[in-house]
Amino acid sequence: MKNMTLEGKIAVVTGGSRGIGRAVCLRLAGMGATVVVNYVSRPDAAESTVAEIISNGGKGAAYQFDVSSSDQVQSAFKQILADFGHIDILVNNAGITRDGLVAMMKEQAWDEVIDTNLKGAFHCIKAVSRPMMKQRWGRIVSIASVIGFAGNAGQANYAAAKAGMVGLTRSVARELASRGVTVNGVAPGYIDTDMTKELPPEVTEKIKAEIPMNSLGTVEDVAAAVAYLVSDESRYVTGQFIHVNGGMFMG
């Protein structure tokens, strides 16, 4: 595609150290962006992502901050703006699970998931929205989930956070559209990462049986959708979600 270059753009990817976030970092760096690889607890993983970006001829740096902390996000984005001069792309990818049936779910499990997966996206969007509006160009992409659309027993907290991300995305898309800033999301199905490795093998097999394509997706499948949404090719697309799920949910 002709306008898929990101030369000169600065991209921040939350949770860029592992899994889907790592693949997004590598993909965006491969398109020419300078990538800020955010992590919270695994500097080794973040540094390895940065090392791979650099060995592929790209540019990137690791930044530690907890997306659930308003103070940490504010000071990190201030620092990123000071270091690079602008932020053009934000990918809200950081996410966790704390699964359990709602009748047994501890309030802490609810709060941690909402604070990281939903409030974290709010903090980061808030931090970039003014600078992006001023520069009249920006791309915000949030990684939601099929679970936010379909629901899932044992994941009420996660589903609520991801469904919340849909409302957040569509509202902010309306707020920023006139300033050249698009706000979209990607809703992956089941993707092979550390997060899904926690599932017992029999559960993974059951999930596969419900996927028309009969296999889990790869992190590159998700990164490809993000690549389109952050490029100039998608300039007239805002408030939308691309479902990357092998056909398991057709929203």
- Closest to 25 measured CA to CA, from 71, 56, 69: 56
Helix ranges (DSSP H) in 92-184: 107-113, 120-135, 146-150, 156-176
Nearer to ligand NDP, 68 or 129 (CB): 68
What 3-state class would DSSP assign to 79? Answer: helix
Residue 240 identity (one-letter amino acid): Q
Active site residue 228: no
- Give least dist CB 190 to ligand NDP, A: 5
Between residues 20 and 28, which has the closer beta carbon with respect to ligand NDP?
20
Spatial contact of 242 and 187, defined as CB atoms under 8 Å apart: yes
Write down the least CB distance from residue 6 to ligand NDP, Å: 21
The strand order across the sheet containing 10-13 reads: 59-64, 34-39, 10-13, 89-92, 138-143, 181-188, 241-244
Query: From the candidates 39, 63, 158, 190, which is the catalytic residue?
Result: 158
Residues at the site binding ligand NDP, with contacts judged by CB under 6 A: 14-15, 17-21, 38-42, 45, 66-68, 93-96, 116-117, 143, 145, 188, 190-191, 193-196
The CB-of-178 to ligand NDP minimum distance in angstroms stands at 28
| Choice between 8 and 48, CB closer to ligand NDP | 48
Catalytic residues: 158
